[in-house]
């Protein structure tokens, strides 16, 4: 079994986390899925399923993988910095 952390964009609340977990667990081969909203991170444990299937499912749900290549990682970091700044006022 493989466990992987995937940084995604657009995770804003526990409702997002619930949707992500529910949908990922419907993929054959996904054994566990957790979401850390504060870190925009999905942790998935899986076997006998291609990682791309998981990433495509996340994308179809509106939570694309955040990478330097697609620029979403910078947006996620910016969003986090914004929220931290608002909390520290």
Number of domains in the chain: 1
* Higher per-residue pLDDT: 77 or 31: 31
Element (H, E) at 4: strand 2-7
Answer yes or no: is pLDDT of 31 > 70.
yes
- Gap between the Cα atoms of 89 and 74, Å rounded: 23
- Gap between the Cα atoms of 21 and 75, Å rounded: 23
Per-residue pLDDT band at 75 (split at 50, 70, 90)? low
Answer yes or no: is pLDDT of 84 > 60.
no
pTM of the model: 0.77
Give the model's pLDDT for residue 71: 56
Answer yes or no: is pLDDT of 26 > 50.
yes
Look up the domain containing 22 and give its range.
2-87
* CATH code, domain with 20: 3.30.70.100
């Amino acid at each position: 079994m493989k466990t992987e952390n995937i940084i995604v964009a657009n995770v804003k609340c526990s409702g997002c986390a619930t949707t992500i977990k529910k949908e990922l667990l419907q993929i054959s081969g996904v054994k566990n899925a957790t979401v850390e909203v504060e870190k925009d991170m999905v942790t998935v444990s899986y076997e006998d399923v291609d990682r791309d299937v998981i990433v495509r499912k996340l994308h179809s749900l509106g939570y694309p993988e955040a990478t330097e290549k697609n620029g979403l990682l910078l947006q996620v970091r910016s969003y986090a910095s914004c929220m931290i700044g608002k909390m520290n006022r």
